[in-house]
Amino acid sequence: QVQLVESGGGLVQAGGSLRLSCTASGLTFSSYHMGWFRQAPGKESEFVAAISWYGGSTYYADSVKGRFTISRDNAKNTVYLQMNNLKPEDTAVYYCAAKERNTGVSRTPGGYVYWGQGTQVTVSS
C-alpha cells in the first residue's frame, strides 16, 4: 500500500537544471525522514541528500553540495530535489526513500524502509 513515486527526470545538457519530485502515499509522511539516492550503471548506490521529517535539517553529499537543494512539503506528501549546474557524473537513476522518524536521518541506504521506483537523469556533454 505504501508507494513513493518519483517524477521529473529526463535528459539535460551539462550546466542545466532539473527538479525531481517524490510523492508518497499509504504512510504518514511527516513520520519519515526522506532521502535521495542515486545509482549509475555498474556502481553502488550513492547518497545524495536527506531532509528531516519537519524539514528543519538537510544533508548533502559533498559531490552535490552547493548545486542541489532538497526540500519537502508535508501538506503535499512530497519531497523535492532541485538540481542545478548538472554535470555528466550526475547521470544515474535517482531514488527517493523514507526512513522512520524515530531512527534518525542517515546517509546510508540500509535504514530506509520504503523506496520509489526511480527516475532516470541523464546529463550530456
Condensed to tens digits (0 to 9), the pLDDT of residues 62-115 reads 999 999 999 999 999 999 999 999 999 999 999 999 999 999 999 999 999 999
Q: What percentage of the chain reaches a pLDDT higher than 90? A: 99
The whole-number pLDDT of residue 25 equals 97
- Model confidence at 43, in pLDDT bands (50, 70, 90)? very high
What stretch of H or E contains 13? strand 10-13
The whole-number pLDDT of residue 60 equals 98
Give the start-end residues of each E strand in the chain. 3-7, 10-13, 18-25, 32-39, 46-51, 58-60, 68-73, 78-83, 92-100, 114-115, 119-124
Measure the CA dihedral 3/27/37/23, to 10°: 60
Q: What percentage of the chain reaches a pLDDT higher than 70? A: 100
Nearest Cα neighbor of 80 from 34, 20, 25 is 20
The whole-number pLDDT of residue 90 equals 98
The whole-number pLDDT of residue 56 equals 93
- Model confidence at 24, in pLDDT bands (50, 70, 90)? very high
The whole-number pLDDT of residue 42 equals 94
